[in-house]
Amino acid sequence: MMDDCKLQEQTHRYLSRHFGWLNREADCTAAQPFLPLMLISAWDVRVQTPITAHLERCRACRADLRRLAGLGLSEADLMQAAKRLAGQTDAVQSLSPAAQAVVETIAVRSNSGVVTTAQFVEGQEVLQVRAVRPSGGWVSGRMRAAAGLAAAIVIMAALLWMRMPQATALDVNQFYQSLKRVENISVRTLDSPHQTLLQQIWVSQPLGLRLFLSEHRKVLCRTDVNRQIWQDDQGNITVVPSLAAVPEVLLPPWGLLPFGDITLLPPEYNWRRQESPDSDVHVYELSWVETLADGRRLEKLWRGHLDRHTHLPLTIEWYERWSDDRPYQLMLTMEISYPDSQAVRQAALDSGLGTGGDF
């Protein structure tokens, strides 16, 4: 048991963290580390904070909170879960496998697109809350950070399993097994209407190397030396510890899936396998509808071309259309390859980030 003084101090520190989000844009990533802490009864917060304001508007975060509450975790375990959701990937080892799976699923899910800001206005005691975005963007910020490949596999398998006819269940299992073995991956994302390269990522799990390249930003994350090197479009370099927030696409499932978590699938989604003229490739499609801030409905389609033998994705296409009497338009294409570690090391060297020779 904590004595009262210590409890007061901890509660104060906890609330300060909440209000550290004043005048800032709070999305799911911001809210997630707070979710387990909100379940610690001694810290029951009865005031509105920038974080509770996000939860009031965000169905996905509320669902995550309910799932965490359903685990009935001890205070110590809730603290571990909070650390994990704050990005400390080795924090949940003391949790039961079932609890770990829930926490990892939360950690890898996409931002819901709900972004809020809260501020105090002079002369008023209540928070002023504004929804910056009721609906998410299309290209960036699509995927939330993930702890490890295991979490991505669980989600991917669950996603595939949900609407899969029993006859093709074997494919799911093979896909699952194949993804487990992925050590190196490279993804090139092309703006399909213009065929311009938007971004590239290179990941080598054995080497602890993750590289992100776009016109405006380069990031090299090296877990081997606990360092992240960021370069902006002016050439300015920033170095931070590797546990600091990594660009979301540098973590499994590397921006390859529209929803990190099946609970985020909209009610109208549809999952199906398509005929493919190439017998070595299986094609799967996921379609769903997004309702934008102005009430318009945007239909989206994800099409994955998977290697029939390895069951790994080769190409992924992202389509959109405004109504079902119009054809889908191809927006983005992702080309996926599985290079060897040496190729990833070479890409890191070629990026010019880092000091060369020290990989």
Q: Which stretches of the chain bind Zn ion, using CB under 5 A?
A: 28, 58, 61, 112
Residue 95's beta-bridge partner residues? none
Question: What is the SS3 assignment for 281-333?
Answer: EEEEEEEEEEECCCCCEEEEEEEEEEECCCCCEEEEEEEEECCCCCCCEEEEE
The residue type at 111: N
Work out how close the CB of 265 gets to Zn ion at its nearest, in angstroms, rounded to a whole number: 16
- Find where tokens 């110590």 sit: 76
Work out how close the CB of 157 gets to Zn ion at its nearest, in angstroms, rounded to a whole number: 24
What does the radius of gyration of the chain's CA atoms come to, in whole angstroms?
A: 21
Work out how close the CB of 353 gets to Zn ion at its nearest, in angstroms, rounded to a whole number: 32
Work out how close the CB of 308 gets to Zn ion at its nearest, in angstroms, rounded to a whole number: 37
Written as six digits, the tokens of 257 are 């899936």
**For residues 28 and 353, which CB has a smaller minimum distance to Zn ion in the complex?**
28
Q: Angle between the 59-70 and 97-108 helix axes, to the nearest 10 degrees?
A: 170
Work out how close the CB of 270 gets to Zn ion at its nearest, in angstroms, rounded to a whole number: 25
Work out how close the CB of 138 gets to Zn ion at its nearest, in angstroms, rounded to a whole number: 18
**For residues 258 and 313, which CB has a smaller minimum distance to Zn ion in the complex?**
258
Per-residue burial over 54-72, b = 16 or more CB atoms within 10 Å of its CB, e = otherwise? bbebbebbebbbebbeebe
d(CA 223, CA 246): 11
Written as six digits, the tokens of 189 are 């994302």
**For residues 53 and 159, which CB has a smaller minimum distance to Zn ion in the complex?**
53
**For residues 58 and 156, which CB has a smaller minimum distance to Zn ion in the complex?**
58
Torsion over CA of 16, 22, 24 and 27, rounded to 10 degrees?
70
**For residues 225 and 293, which CB has a smaller minimum distance to Zn ion in the complex?**
293
Residues 248 and 241 sit within 8 Å (Cβ to Cβ): no
Work out how close the CB of 243 gets to Zn ion at its nearest, in angstroms, rounded to a whole number: 22
d(CA 201, CA 250): 7
Work out how close the CB of 42 gets to Zn ion at its nearest, in angstroms, rounded to a whole number: 24
**For residues 53 and 316, which CB has a smaller minimum distance to Zn ion in the complex?**
53
**For residues 29 and 346, which CB has a smaller minimum distance to Zn ion in the complex?**
29
**For residues 248 and 317, which CB has a smaller minimum distance to Zn ion in the complex?**
248
Work out how close the CB of 352 gets to Zn ion at its nearest, in angstroms, rounded to a whole number: 36
Written as six digits, the tokens of 299 are 């239909």
Residues 220 and 226 sit within 8 Å (Cβ to Cβ): no
**For residues 58 and 95, which CB has a smaller minimum distance to Zn ion in the complex?**
58
Alpha-carbon distances of 326 from 193, 254, 270, 298, 330, rounded to whole Å: 17, 30, 18, 12, 13
